[in-house]
Chains A and B, each alone.
Chain A
Amino acid sequence: MNWELIFGQITWDSFVFAGMIENPSLSEAIASGAGSIAVLGALATVILLTVKGWWVPLWRDWLTSVDHKKVGIMYIAIALVMFARAVIEAALMRAQQLAATEGAGFLSADHFGQLFSTHGTIMIFFVAMPFITGLMNYVMPLQIGARDVSFPLLNAISLMLTMAGAVLIMVSLVVGQFSTGGWSAYPPFTGIEFSPGEGVDYWIWAVSLGSIGSTLTGLNFAVTIYKKRCPGMTLFRMPLFTWTTLCTSILMIFAMAPLTAATVMLALDRYAGFHFFTNGDGGNMMNYANLFWLFGHPEVYILILPAFGVWSEVVATFSSKRIYGYTSLVYATMCIAVLSFAVWLHHFFTMGQSANVNAIFGIATMIIGVPTGVKVYDWLLTMVGGRIRFSTPMLFHINFLLTFILGGMTGVLLANPGVDFQVHNTLFLVAHFHNMIIPGVLFGMFAAVQFWFPKVFGFRLHEGLGRASFWCFAPGFLLAFFPLYWLGMMGATRRTYMWSNPDYVPWLALAMLGAALILAGFALMVMQIVVSVRQRAQLAAPLGDPWDGRALEWSIPSPPPAWNFAVLPEVSSQDPFYEAKKAGTAYRSPAAYEDIEVPRNTATAPLIGLFACAWAFALVWHIWWLAIASFVLIWVVVIVRSFETDTEETVPAATVKAANEAFLAAVRATPGVTRDREMTSDNRGRAIPESLEAGAGALASGAAVEVSR
C-alpha cells in the first residue's frame, strides 16, 4: 500500500504530539500544549454546539447567511479568536527573551522562529484584516443608507476564504510546523533549499486565501460606496468612516495583487523548481522584497485608515460636536492612500540600491507625516469647546493621539536612510511598528467595539470593566514597547531567541511586565463581554441611539432588522441623523412602505470555504488527489450556483411596517436621556441631542424631542 498517495507527506512524526513523545523538552511541551489547546478548543466547540443543539441555528442563521451584518460579526469573531492565540504567542516570546540572556531559555530556536512568524502573520492577516473588514462590513452600508453591499454572496465568499486561511494556520499548530521565515517570508531563506519542510507552504496558502478574500472585499465595498448610497448622500456628505472605508477598499483592489503574485512565484519556486527568488540560475530575491512591500506598505494603510475613520466618529460623537475640518480629513485620507504606494522601498533601504533612490523614498515617507498631522490637529480641534465624555472609546482615542504621535516621530526618524542603516533589523523597528499598529489599529478596533457594540447587539458594554481594560492596555502597551526603543538603540536585533548582553535584562523585564498587563487587559475585555451579556437587561438600548450619534446607523433599531432601513432615507446634510434630531424630524413615520427584496441564504459560500481549506491543506502536504478534487469542487459549487434562479425572497411591506411602527412607537414612548445619564440604565437608546439639552428644564421627560412626532 502506498500511503503517500493517500496522505501525501503527512506521517506520524508530523503531529506535534510525536515530538513531545519522542524528544521531550519544555519547548516541545509548549508546542504540544498549544496543539492540545487547538484540538480541545475545537472539541469543546463541537460538544457545546451539540449539547445546546446549536448546529442548525449556526448553519441556518450564520454560516449560510449573506447579510452584511452577520458577515461582519463573523469576521470580528475570527479576529478575536486569532487575537487570543497571537497575543499569547507574543507573551511567550517576551518570556523567552527575558529568560535567554546567557542561556538558552526554554524555547528552541526553531520554535521561537515559528512563534514570531505565526504571531506576525496572524496579527496582520487574521486579526487586523478581519477586524477592519468586519467593522467596515457592519457599519459602512448602514452609514450610507443601504440595505446591503453590492454583492452579498461575494461578501460571504470573502469571509469564508479568510476563515479557511485562519483554520489552516490553526491546523499548523497540530499537524506539522509553521514557517520560521517571519511574516514577510523573505527568500532565499523561505526557498525550498533552506526551508524544505511544510512550514513555508502553510504560510503561502494561508496568506493567499486571505489575500484573495481581501481583494474581493475591496472590490465589493468600493462598488457599494460608489453605487449604493441613499438619495442625497453625496460623496462629501459621507461619514468619515465610510470615506476611510472607500480609501481602504481602493488600496485593497490595487495592493493585494502584488502579494498574490509574490506568493504564487514563491510557490512555483518551491513546488516546481522555478527560479524567481533562488540564489542561482537567474533568480532575483530583491524582486520578492519589491513585490512583497508593494503590497506590504499599502497594507499598513489598509489597516490604519479604517481606524482613522473610527477615531473621527468617536471623537465627534463623544465631544458632541461636528467633526472639525471634515474636508481636510477627506483630502488627508486620500493623500495618504495615494502616497502609500510611493514609499515601499523604505522597508529595505539597506538592500543595496543607490543613495539617491533611498533619498527619494525617504522623502516620500516623511511627506506622509503631513496629512497624518492634519488629521491629528483636526481631531484635537474637534475636542476644543466640545462636551467631552471620557467614556472608554474616548479614553482610547486620547491615548491614541498621545502615543501615535510618538510612533509617528520614530517613523520619521526611520524614514531617514542614514538613521535606518543604524537601527534596521533591531528592536527599534519592532517598537516603531507596534507603536503605530497597537495604539492606532488595535485600540481603534477596541474603541470601535465599545462604540458600535450596542448597535450590533442591542445592549451596551459594561463601562467599568471597559475602563479597567483600558487602564491595563494603555500602560501595558507603553511598558511592553517603549523599552524596545532603548534595546534597539543598544543594538538588540529583532527575532533573536537568546542574548549575550546582560545590560538588556532590565529593559526586557519591563517589556515582560507590559506584556503581562496587555494580557490582563485582554482578560478584562473578555470578562467585560461576559458580564455585559449577563447584565444585558440593565444595559439594553434597543432604541438604537445610546451615544447621541450623528450618522444614519443610529437612526434604526438595535440590532437592526435584516433589511436595515424600512424606507431608504433621504439625506440633505452631513451628520444627517444628528441634524434630524435637532430639527425634530427624526423618528417620523414614512408615508408608505414597500416590499423589500433580500437575498436568500445559501450554502455556496461555506462550501467554497470548506473546499478552499481542503485544497490549501492538500497543497501543503502534497496530497494531490485531494488538491485536484477540492479545486474541481470549488468550481462545481460556483457553476451549480449560477444555474439557480430563485435567489431572492420578498419581505412584505406589512411586515416591514409592523416592525418599524412598533420601533417608532417605542421610541416615542421613551423619555430621552441626557449625556450625563448616558452610562445609567436610563439609557434605552433614545438620546436628547446635546444642543437641545441646554435650554429646556424638564428634559428627562423627553419634552424637547416630542417635537419629532
Chain B
Amino acid sequence: MSLSERLHPGLNLAGTDPEGHEAAEEVLFGFWIFLMSDLVLFAVLFATYAAMSVQGIADGPLPAEVFDLTAAFVETLLLLLSSFAFGFAILAMKYREDRRGVLVWLLLTGVLGAAFVAMELHDYYVMITQHAAPPQASGFLSAYYLLTGTHALHVSSGLVWMAIMSIQIAVLGFTAPVKLRLMRLALFWHMLDVVWIGIFTFVYLYGVAS
C-alpha cells in the first residue's frame, strides 16, 4: 500500500515522516473511534439538556435569565483561537521538528485554554451567587452544569495532557510515540471545539433567544 493510500482524515505525517505516518494509521484510527464514542456521550448529554431545558425548569430560573451571552462569545473566541494555535504547533512539528516553536505554540494554546476554563468557572460563580442558579435548583440547571461541566472537564484534562506533552517534547524529543501523542491531543482539542460550537449554539444562543 502506498503512502497516499494510507492517508487518514485530519492531521497526518505523510510526506515528512514516512515511518511515523505508517505507525500513525492504526493509532490515529483508534483515537478517531474513541472520539466517536466520546461524542456519543456528548450527544446523550445534549439530548438530556434539550429535554430538561424545556420541561425541567420547575420553580427555577429560565435559560434566558441566567446566561451571559457576551461571556459565552468571548469563551468561544478563546477556545477557537487556542485550536488555531495548536494547528501551528502541529505544523511546526510536522515540517520543522522545531522544539522551541512547538513549545511556544503549545504554551499559547494552553494559556488560551486555561483562560477559557477560568471564564467558565467565573460564569458558574456568577450564576450561583447572583442568579441563585446552582445545579441543585432545577432539572434544567442540572443538565446545563453537566453538559458544560463535562466539556470543561475535557478541556481541563486536555490542559494537563498538554503540560505532560510539553515535558515529553523537552525530555524525549520528537520520537514517534511523542509525535503520535501530540497528534492525538490535537484531534482531541479540535473535537472539543466542535462540541463547544454545539453548546454555544444550542445552549447559549437558543437559550437566550427563546
Q: Which residues of A contact B (CB under 8 A)?
A: 150-151, 215, 218-220, 222-223, 226-228, 253-254, 256-258, 260-261, 264-265, 268-269, 272-276, 278, 280-284, 287, 291, 294, 635, 639, 642-643, 645
- Contacts A228-B26, A276-B48; A265 near B181 (Cβ below 8 A): no
B136 touches A272 (CB 8 A): yes
Task: Look across to chain B and name the residue whose beta carbon is closest to the beta carbon of A258.
Answer: B44
Chain A residues contacting B36 (CB-CB under 8 Å) are 253-254
State the CA gap A54–B136 with chains docked (Å).
52
B52 touches A274 (CB 8 A): no
> Which residues of chain B from 4 to 31 have a CB within 8 Å of any chain A CB?
25-26, 29-30
Chain B residues contacting A222 (CB-CB under 8 Å) are 33
Chain A residues contacting B55 (CB-CB under 8 Å) are 282, 284
A639 touches B164 (CB 8 A): yes
Chain A residues contacting B30 (CB-CB under 8 Å) are 150-151, 219-220, 223
B172 touches A645 (CB 8 A): yes
B29 touches A226 (CB 8 A): yes
The main secondary structure of chain A at its interface with chain B is helix
Chain A residues contacting B58 (CB-CB under 8 Å) are 275, 280-282
Q: Could you list some 21 contacts between A and B, CB below 8 A? A: A150-B26, A218-B37, A256-B37, A257-B37, A273-B136, A274-B135, A274-B145, A275-B139, A278-B139, A281-B137, A281-B138, A281-B139, A282-B138, A282-B140, A282-B142, A283-B139, A287-B51, A287-B52, A639-B164, A642-B164, A645-B177
Other-chain contact of B44, A226, A291, A645 (Cβ < 8 Å): A291
Task: Look across to chain A and name the residue whose beta carbon is closest to the beta carbon of B33.
Answer: A219
Is the C-beta of B41 less than 8 angstroms from some C-beta in chain A? yes
B56 touches A294 (CB 8 A): no
Chain A residues contacting B145 (CB-CB under 8 Å) are 274
Per-position contact with A for B103-127: 1 when CB-CB < 8 Å, else 0?
A: 0000000000000000000000000
A281 touches B59 (CB 8 A): yes
State the CA gap A227–B28 with chains docked (Å).
11
Is the C-beta of B129 less than 8 angstroms from some C-beta in chain A? no
A219 touches B37 (CB 8 A): yes
Q: Least Cβ distance of B59 to chain A in Å?
A: 7
State the CA gap A438–B142 with chains docked (Å).
40
State the CA gap A265–B135 with chains docked (Å).
12
- Contacts A228-B26, A642-B168; A276 near B44 (Cβ below 8 A): no
> Which residues of chain B from 37 to 80 have a CB within 8 Å of any chain A CB?
37-38, 40-41, 44-45, 48, 51-52, 55-60
Q: Least Cβ distance of A409 to chain B in Å?
A: 33
Task: Look across to chain B and name the residue whose beta carbon is closest to the beta carbon of A226.
Answer: B29
> Which residues of chain B from 71 to 103 have a CB within 8 Å of any chain A CB?
none
Other-chain contact of B48, A220, A227, A261 (Cβ < 8 Å): A261
Chain B residues contacting A281 (CB-CB under 8 Å) are 58-60, 137-139
State the CA gap A645–B171 with chains docked (Å).
12
Task: Look across to chain A and name the residue whose beta carbon is closest to the beta carbon of B167.
Answer: A643
A261 touches B142 (CB 8 A): no
Q: Least Cβ distance of B163 to chain A in Å?
A: 10
* Interface residues in B, total, Cβ within 8 A: 41
Other-chain contact of A227, B26, B34, B136, B175 (Cβ < 8 Å): B26
B40 touches A254 (CB 8 A): yes
Task: Look across to chain A and name the residue whose beta carbon is closest to the beta carbon of B32.
Answer: A223
State the CA gap A254–B43 with chains docked (Å).
11
Q: Least Cβ distance of B141 to chain A in Å?
A: 8
Nearest 3 A-B pairs (CB), nearest first? A282-B139, A282-B56, A282-B58
Task: Look across to chain B and name the residue whose beta carbon is closest to the beta carbon of A253.
Answer: B37
Is the C-beta of B133 less than 8 angstroms from some C-beta in chain A? no
State the CA gap A643–B25 with chains docked (Å).
22
- Contacts A222-B33, A227-B29, A642-B181; A257 near B41 (Cβ below 8 A): yes
Q: Least Cβ distance of A151 to chain B in Å?
A: 6
Task: Look across to chain B and name the residue whose beta carbon is closest to the beta carbon of A219.
Answer: B33
B44 touches A284 (CB 8 A): no
State the CA gap A177–B40 with chains docked (Å).
33
A223 touches B136 (CB 8 A): no
State the CA gap A639–B47 with chains docked (Å).
34
State the CA gap A26–B137 with chains docked (Å).
45
Q: Least Cβ distance of A147 to chain B in Å?
A: 13
State the CA gap A287–B34 with chains docked (Å).
25
Task: Look across to chain A and name the residue whose beta carbon is closest to the beta carbon of B59.
Answer: A281
Chain A residues contacting B51 (CB-CB under 8 Å) are 284, 287
State the CA gap A549–B118 with chains docked (Å).
61
Chain B residues contacting A220 (CB-CB under 8 Å) are 30
Other-chain contact of A274, B45, B136, B160 (Cβ < 8 Å): B136
Is the C-beta of B191 less than 8 angstroms from some C-beta in chain A? no
Chain A residues contacting B60 (CB-CB under 8 Å) are 281-282
State the CA gap A256–B34 with chains docked (Å).
12
Q: Least Cβ distance of B85 to chain A in Å?
A: 23
Q: Least Cβ distance of B30 to chain A in Å?
A: 4
Other-chain contact of B41, A150, A260, A269, A275 (Cβ < 8 Å): A260
- Contacts A219-B33, A274-B135, A281-B139; A643 near B146 (Cβ below 8 A): no
Q: Least Cβ distance of A250 to chain B in Å?
A: 9
Is the C-beta of B155 less than 8 angstroms from some C-beta in chain A? no
Residue from B26, B51, B57, B60 whose CB has the most chain A CB atoms within 10 Å: B26
A275 touches B29 (CB 8 A): no
Is the C-beta of B152 less than 8 angstroms from some C-beta in chain A? no
A223 touches B40 (CB 8 A): no
Chain B residues contacting A150 (CB-CB under 8 Å) are 26, 30
State the CA gap A572–B57 with chains docked (Å).
62
Chain B residues contacting A260 (CB-CB under 8 Å) are 41
Is the C-beta of B143 less than 8 angstroms from some C-beta in chain A? yes
State the CA gap A256–B37 with chains docked (Å).
8
Per-position contact with A for B181-193: 1 when CB-CB < 8 Å, else 0?
A: 1000000000000
